[in-house]
Amino acid sequence: MTKIILHGGFTSEDNELNRGYYREITKDLKDGATVLAVLFAREKEEHSKLFQDEIQKLTASIDKHLDIVQASEDKFINQVKEADVIVIRGGDTSKLIKTFKQYPDFMESARDKVIGGSSAGAYLFSKYYHSASKGKVFEGLGILPIRIVCHHNSKEFKVKKSAVEQLEKYPNDLELVILKDYEWRVFEI
């Protein structure tokens, strides 16, 4: 079974909800497990700082040695196959989705693993998502049969029209998932 943990955004903040998210990601890992940090939604200049932040957050929640590797586009599927856990950091959702569309076998390669996705990383898995930064609905990869709102009622984003109202126009047979900043939820497929 593949475990997907969707996070509402802003993992960089230090608070109990974010610590809980990282504990959930790492709780079943064995000593020496490999964690793949995916930073494809961010600009390359940010990667070094973000990677160090991921290392700190992942290791703070576990008293075991972890082999934390930064994902690279040219080795991505092999890295996914070798990883025990994949953590997808937020950022530019359209950039992230465009990159992931290059790897149609991603989910097959990630079968029976733990995957964490924050904000853009959460939107990636949905059928439809409401972008807080753009204020409208877009289509994700459809891996999970959900409509999702991250950053719900966030102080950081001023959405002109209600994200929930906009998503209600999309198929109601898809569960509506609403995550505030720092909140997270587990799905198993």
Task: State the pLDDT at residue 62.
Answer: 87
What angle in degrees, to the nearest 10, is found between the helix axes of 44-60 and 16-26? 80
Cα-to-chain-centroid distance, residue 165: 23
Distance separating alpha carbons of residues 114 and 2, to the nearest angstrom: 6
Domain boundaries, the chain: 3-188
Per-residue pLDDT of the chain (189 residues; tens, 9 = 90+): 999 999 999 999 999 999 999 999 999 999 999 999 999 999 999 999 999 999 999 999 788 999 999 999 999 999 999 999 999 999 999 999 999 999 999 999 999 999 999 999 999 999 999 998 888 999 999 999 999 999 998 888 765 568 889 999 999 899 999 999 999 999 999
Residue 66 contacts residue 24 (beta carbons within 8 Å): no
Asked if 107 and 127 count as a contact pair (C-beta separation under 8 A), the reply is no
How far apart (Å, rounded) are the C-alpha atoms in residues 183 and 35? Answer: 21
Contacts of 144 (CB under 8 A, 6+ apart): 4, 6, 125, 126, 127, 187, 189
CATH architecture designation of domain 3-188: 3-Layer(aba) Sandwich (3.40)
